[in-house]
A = this chain, B = another copy of it.
Amino acid sequence: MKRIAIEEKVLNENQLLAEQLRKRYRQHGILCLNLISAPGSGKTALLEQTLERMDRGTRVAVLTGDLQTENDAKRLAKFGFPVKQITTGGTCHLDAKMIGKHLEDWKVEDLDLLIVENVGNLVCPSSYDLGEDAKIVLLSTTEGEDKPLKYPSVFFKSELLLLTKIDLLPYVPFEAELARENARRVHPGMEIIDVSSITGEGLDHWMNWLSRRLGKARAKLESVGT
């Protein structure tokens, strides 16, 4: 009982901080995305391709989470956008407090897009709101088709499913249509985009999604401003 009460308290405190972040992003028309997946589903590879293709006029920043190492931040820093690593020690997810702390010395109001790459984990990150506009879940073709059924929370809470490593389909016993069906069983109508960071397949589709969402975040700001 006591343990559950404390867990609830932690989640409530996180929620308050997340709402403050969300308000701040919306005041400045910033789109914030929270990328979640199992370790090795290709979050960093997708971000490399995304930053590579990003219109230089778009002001992007990335926060990338891991238990240990600065590896991902190093990989992403090459593209000239600000990137910061959050190392959580033993914690299996990012929380709103970590995000707030790592934004302290950035001029957040100058951003168009803040991408948060969560710790590689399909369970814990789904419970922690980071103030994002949308969660995005990645599932690779080398994992099982039944992952949406086994880890329903993150698939239910994510707006978009990126089916990654689509180039490996000929070599793996993965039924993509079944994976899509399973995702839509836990999240009816879920938007799904197939991508490959190796061949580039589907990346235009993903960049269009991103660009549409950036336009929406700006439009919301303007409608608030009038």
Contacts and interface: CB of A to CB of B under 8 A. Distances in A.
Contact of A198 (B150, B153, B173): B173
A140 B68 contact: no
Interface in A88-133: 90-92, 119-124, 127
A44 B140 CA distance: 17
Contacts of A124: 92, 123-124
A151 interface: yes
Interface stretch (A25-33, A164-172, A217-225): A164-172
Give the interface SS of chain A, mostly helix, strand, loop or mixed.
loop
Interface in A157-183: 165, 167-168, 171-173
A152 interface: yes
Copies of the protein in its oligomer: 2
Contacts of A140: 40, 142
B3 A10 contact: yes
B67 A150 contact: yes
A194 interface: no
Q: Top 8 A-B pairs ranked by shortest CB distance? A: A40-B143, A92-B123, A142-B142, A38-B39, A38-B38, A66-B150, A69-B149, A71-B146
A147 interface: yes
26 contacts: A3-B6, A3-B10, A38-B38, A38-B39, A38-B120, A39-B147, A40-B41, A40-B142, A40-B147, A67-B153, A68-B150, A68-B151, A69-B146, A69-B150, A71-B149, A71-B150, A90-B123, A90-B153, A92-B123, A92-B124, A120-B151, A121-B121, A121-B123, A123-B124, A140-B142, A171-B171
Counting contact residues on chain A (CB < 8 A from B), the size range is: 35 or more
Contacts of A212: none
Contact of A67 (B69, B119, B143, B151): B151
A78 B150 CA distance: 20
